[in-house]
Every structure is written in C-alpha cells, then in structure tokens.
Amino acid sequence: MAFWVLLAIVVIVVFWAIALYNGLIGLRNQVQNGWRQIDIQLKRRHDLIPNLVNTVRGAMEFERDTLTQVMEARSRAVAATGPVDAAKKEGELTQALGRLFALTENYPTLKANENVKMLQEELSSTENKVGFARQFYNDIATKFNTAQQTFPSNIFASMLGFKPAELFEITDAGERAVPAVDLSMKR
C-alpha cells in the first residue's frame, strides 16, 4: 500500500516537473522571439529613413541641417552595439525625426503630398511597432520571470538552468523625465 502511494507521488511529481519544464521552455522561446521582433522593426525603420529624406529633400532645401542630422542619427543608430547603446541611439534618432516632421508642417506642398503622407504613416507605424514589440517583450519576459520565481517552481527553475530575462527600460534619463508643462496663468 505504502509503496503504491509513494509511486503515485513520484509519478505526479515527475509529470509536474515535465509540465513545468516545457512551460518554461515555451516562455523562453517567446521571450527570444520578442527580442528579435524588436530588432526587425528597428531595421525596418533604418531602411525607411533614406526614402523619406530623399522625398522631402527637394522641397526642404532650406532645412539641410535637419536632414543631415536625421541621416547622421540614423547611421549612428545602425552602428550601435549592444542593447543599451542601441536604445540610446534609437532615442536620438526618434528625436531627430520628430524635429523633421515638425518642420514639414511649414511646407503646405509637402503636407499635401501623398508620398510624404504615406512615408510618414510608414514611419510612425514602425515607431509604434518598435514600441509594441518592446511592450510584448516586457510582458512576456515578466511572465517568464514570474513563472521562474514563484513557489514551488523556483526550486526547480534554477536547477534546470533557467535565468530571468532582462526587461527593457528607458536608459536615457532625459527620456524618463516628465516634460515640465507650466499651466499657471501668469499675468
């Protein structure tokens, strides 16, 4: 009798361990996939920017500085190494692009141009995708970490060789700072 009870317990534990292991492997693959997804979207953004610059160049002859800034920020972002560096350079690129888009507002012909509109849509969509890819990565990495760290799986997770995944954080202090908006009605 005691033997059978013991056997049943062992079988249950083994099945539970298998389920845990497979669940963790699935989550880890999703985390890695999420990470790669961010890279894909960043690459796409880099590919789109020369198109945009070429399209607006003719009309925006006077804004040569801004255009070169965008191209320089882009090549720095392409050359970035490691996630921390990349996050910083991509942030600068976003800011340069923001300035360029703000300037196009001064050119009615550009604003009405279908090509420019399409490129703007593509670029803002790519920015969104980068953001959503990061959001998904953070969500799934959090899930992965929680699965490893909660009891009782925490006992086995490290034994099976799982390490917690790093979360995406804002690395640039400037990006984190809340913009100061002064709404007091000064007279």
Partner 1 sequence: MLVFVAFLFFLGYGFDRFYMGGGTMPIPIGSVFALGLGGASAFTSYYAGDRAVLLSTGAVPLTDVGPSAPEEDKLKYRQLQNVVDEMSIAAGLPRPKVFVIPDPDPNAFATGRDPEHASIAVTKGLLDAVNRDELQGVVAHELSHVRNLDIRLMTVIAAMVGAAALIADWSTRGLQMGMGGGSRSRSRSKEGGGGAFGLIVLVIWLIAVIVAPVIGQALAMMVSRRREYLADASGAELTRNPLALASALEKIDRAEAPTASVKRGTANLCIADPLGRAVGLREGGWSNLMASHPPMASRIAALKEMAFQAIPQSQ
Q: How many residues make up the chain in this entry? A: 187
What amino acid is encoded at 129 in this protein? K
Q: What is the DSSP string of 14-59?
A: HHHHHHHHHHHHHHHHHHHHHHHHHHHHHHHHHHHHHHHHHHHHTT
| Cβ 44 vs Cβ 119: under 8 Å | no
Contact flag: residue 143 with partner 1 (CB under 8 A): no
Which residue from 46, 76, 99, 129 is in contact with partner 1, where contact means CB under 8 A? Answer: 129
Asked if residue 164 lies in contact with residue 144, where contact means CB atoms within 8 angstroms, the answer is yes
Considering only residues 47, 121, 166, 169, which one is a binding residue for partner 1 as defined by CB under 8 A?
121
| Closer by beta carbon to partner 1, 18 or else 118 | 118
Distance from the Cα of residue 122 to its chain's centroid = 17
Please say which residue, 12 or 40, places its beta carbon nearer to partner 1.
40
Closest approach, Cβ 56 to partner 1, in A, equals 17
Cα angle at 183 between 182 and 184, to 5 degrees? Answer: 100
Minimum Å gap between C-beta 31 and partner 1 is: 10
Binding segment for partner 1 (CB under 8 A), chosen from 3-11, 71-79, 99-107, 115-123, is: 115-123
Q: Does 128 bind partner 1 (CB under 8 A)?
A: yes
Residue in 17, 37, 46, 172 binding partner 1, rule: CB under 8 A: 37
- With binding defined as CB under 8 A, does residue 142 bind partner 1? no
Taking the C-alpha atoms of residue 115 and residue 120, their distance in angstroms, rounded to an integer, is 9
- In the complex, the residues that contact partner 1 under the rule CB under 8 A are 30, 33-34, 37, 41, 114, 117-118, 121-122, 125, 128-129, 132-133, 135-136, 140
